[in-house]
Structure 1
Amino acid sequence: MKRLLNVHEAPIIVFTILITLLFSITSSDFFQFDNVKLILDQNISTFIVAIGMTMVILLGGMDLSVGSVLAVTATAVGLLLSHGIHPWIAALLGIIIGGLCGMVNGYFIAVRKIPDIIVTLATMYIFRGIAVGISGGTWMTNFPEGFRFFGQGKLFGISFPLLIALVLIAIFVYLLKFTRSGRRIYAIGGNGSAAKLAGIDVAKSKFKVYVLTGLLVGVASVIFASKVGSVQASTAGNALSFEVMAAVLIGGGSIFGGIGTVAGTMLGVLFMGIIKNGLIISKVSPFWVDASTGFLIILAIIINTLQRFRQNKGKEGELV
């Protein structure tokens, strides 16, 4: 039992089980296969974007622009499709555009050493403005039949977007846990100065993380546009930045960097999805959904602070 409680993701696992039981008791429709499938289906894009945000927060940074990157990428894909570009080519170009947006953020943050909050706050408005500008303020709709596969198709009897999400989760769990690049991200977030002294190219690692985050948002935007069937540049991904940051914190990540896992973040996304779905099924006012997210962020920070206090106390005890 002690070993289980010492697992980093233990608090979020316990909370997820408890909240699932609570909603299952209050509504007989909640714990049904179709509803579980709906929760996963509705949060596919969030799962994918949250992988990138995990790496950014592990560095001790933040990215306020991911929602706007999704908007500009999805809008660009919609425009390409409207001009007769093949769905697979349009999707690939969309992912590349996401990566280019990540390069812009990475250049100013890693190379020019401008604080991430300033850069991503600026690019949040710039990318959103570009999305609205290239769309002319109109909805992107009437996507071709072939494009629907990315958000609604099946491969080997499994939902294609869910399969993509699972593959990406597995890749980045491995990347962060078992590779040199992953250990460097943790090292930079834990102590940037010590990482430099250890010979780690901090700027290069940061740049890579922001590019990867942009590429992941690009993938999520293709799935988003295909699943929804339309894109409104001015509103697409409006709350995405805060949702994925909340998921990282709820999943055990530290806003100060160096602590967190992709698995914990995925549980954080799932937990938030369960809360939203459960409140809607229980016929609670949708206004309380946002309030509950804010409360969960505060709760997550309190739990993280207590965990760090316990860990530091444990280390001090070992030294004594």
Structure 2
Amino acid sequence: MKQNTAGAEKKSALKRLFEIREFGVICALIIMVLLLSVFAESFFSASNFLTILRTVSTNGIIAVGVTFVILTGGIDLSVGSGLALCGAFAAATFNGTGSSVLAAVVALVTGLLLGLFNGVLIAFFDVPPFIQTLVTMTAARGIVYIFCDGTPIPEVGAFIGGIGRGRVLGIPNPVILTVIVFAAGWFLLNKTTLGRYVYAIGGNEECTKLSGVNVRRYKMMPYIISGVTSALACLILIGRLNSAQPSMGDKFEMDAIAAVVVGGTSLSGGSGTMVGTLVGALIIGVLMNGMNMLGVDSYAQYIVKGAVILFAVLLETRKNKNSK
């Protein structure tokens, strides 16, 4: 009798494991790491893993904000250009005042205002998210080039430099900041009213509105979060480079969306997790690192990345069809 009970408990535990939404992408990440450890020399090393985590940090932090947006059924194409604008304003502030802390604050406020701009027009003026964020992406990039006169702005100060290049107990600060941002994102998504309404809006916006929720306000908030996470990622990047370049953040929106989609978040909204996004960002980072180590042509890497995204979308589409 006890053996039967133990066997049932084992089966139940195994079933629960396979029911975990992130199980598939976690398995994919593990398999990828094992294969690259065999075929790519020096891949499986502590120093390389730290390199991957440091590289993933920028995209991972942006992906946290993009996760909130996509869960509502929206999209944010402006994160890359917004990052560049935040960086340009931050570097100019440091060069004008000599305060690296003030420069960081300016970057964060700029990101917040860009997100607010997108959020207000999408939530209160019913501009389609794709169109609105495309406009912001284009305009912000133009402003950056005009503001920088097409040339990098050097020097960002010790505080921002410490964010991008510093370490605590041997762990790079960008990695620590990424962990903090993901933890905050997980908490907001799973333990707050905002998170519950984000899922509800993405699942059925009309029903959520009829239930008395201020949909416009909660639809606006994810874009503000996305703007702030882009600014945080900007601090890492300009801190690492010790300059702000007008071309910074180019195609970053594609990498962030890729991480979110590969992590299992539905592009139609209402379904996805922050853990999945983290694993998705790691998959993209491990894939790019492994291809570099294997000497894969840089142009071919775009094709491989596109194939991975397409595969993730096809899996999501098939799963949605099966659930109906």
Residue 299 of structure 1 corresponds to which residue in structure 2?
Answer: 311
**For 1:111, which of 113, 124, 128 is the aligned residue?**
124
C-alpha deviations, 1:15-44, integer Å up to 9, x for none?
111111111110231011110000010121
Residue 286 of structure 2 corresponds to which residue in structure 1?
Answer: 274
- Cα distance in 2 for residues equivalent to 1:108 and 1:147: 32
For residue 157 of structure 1, report the CA deviation from its aligned partner: 4.8
- Cα distance in 2 for residues equivalent to 1:310 and 1:10: 18
**What secondary structure sits across from 2:154 in the alignment?**
coil
C-alpha deviations, 1:158-211, integer Å up to 9, x for none?
322222211111111111112211010000000001110111111100111111
State how 1:162-241 maps to structure 2 within 5 Å. 162-233=175-246, 235-241=247-253
Residue 138 of structure 1 corresponds to which residue in structure 2?
Answer: 151
**What secondary structure sits across from 1:43 in the alignment?**
helix
Residue 161 of structure 2 corresponds to which residue in structure 1?
Answer: 148
- Cα distance in 2 for residues equivalent to 1:142 and 1:17: 40
Residue 17 of structure 1 corresponds to which residue in structure 2?
Answer: 30
- Cα distance in 1 for residues equivalent to 2:243 and 2:91: 8
State how 1:22-37 maps to structure 2 within 5 Å. 22-37=35-50
- Cα distance in 2 for residues equivalent to 1:10 and 1:303: 14
**For 1:46, which of 32, 39, 59 is the aligned residue?**
59
**What's the TM-score once normalised by structure 2's chain length?**
0.93
- Cα distance in 1 for residues equivalent to 2:309 and 2:115: 26
Are 2:72 and 2:199, in contact at CA under 8 Å, matched by a contact in 1?
yes
Q: Does 1:284 align with 2:284?
A: no
**What's the TM-score once normalised by structure 1's chain length?**
0.94
Residue 244 of structure 1 corresponds to which residue in structure 2?
Answer: 256
**Which structure 2 residue ranges, 5 or more long, are not aligned?**
1-13
- The amino acid across from 1:216 in the alignment is T
**For 1:102, which of 115, 118, 122 is the aligned residue?**
115
Residue 58 of structure 1 corresponds to which residue in structure 2?
Answer: 71
- The amino acid across from 1:187 in the alignment is A
- The amino acid across from 1:81 in the alignment is F
For residue 309 of structure 1, report the CA deviation from its aligned partner: 3.5
C-alpha deviations, 1:216-269, integer Å up to 9, x for none?
111111111001223221x21111111111111100010100011111011101
**Which structure 1 residue ranges, 5 or more long, are not aligned?**
313-320
- Cα distance in 2 for residues equivalent to 1:227 and 1:249: 27
- Cα distance in 1 for residues equivalent to 2:96 and 2:310: 46
**What secondary structure sits across from 1:83 in the alignment?**
helix
Residue 69 of structure 1 corresponds to which residue in structure 2?
Answer: 82
Residue 315 of structure 1 corresponds to which residue in structure 2?
Answer: none
Are 2:99 and 2:157, in contact at CA under 8 Å, matched by a contact in 1?
no
Percent identity between the aligned chains?
33
Q: What is the RMSD computed on CA atoms of the aligned residues?
A: 1.3
Change (3 A) 1:157 1:21: closer
- Cα distance in 2 for residues equivalent to 1:228 and 1:44: 15
Change (3 A) 1:311 1:2: farther
- Cα distance in 1 for residues equivalent to 2:309 and 2:160: 36
Give the aligned length. 311
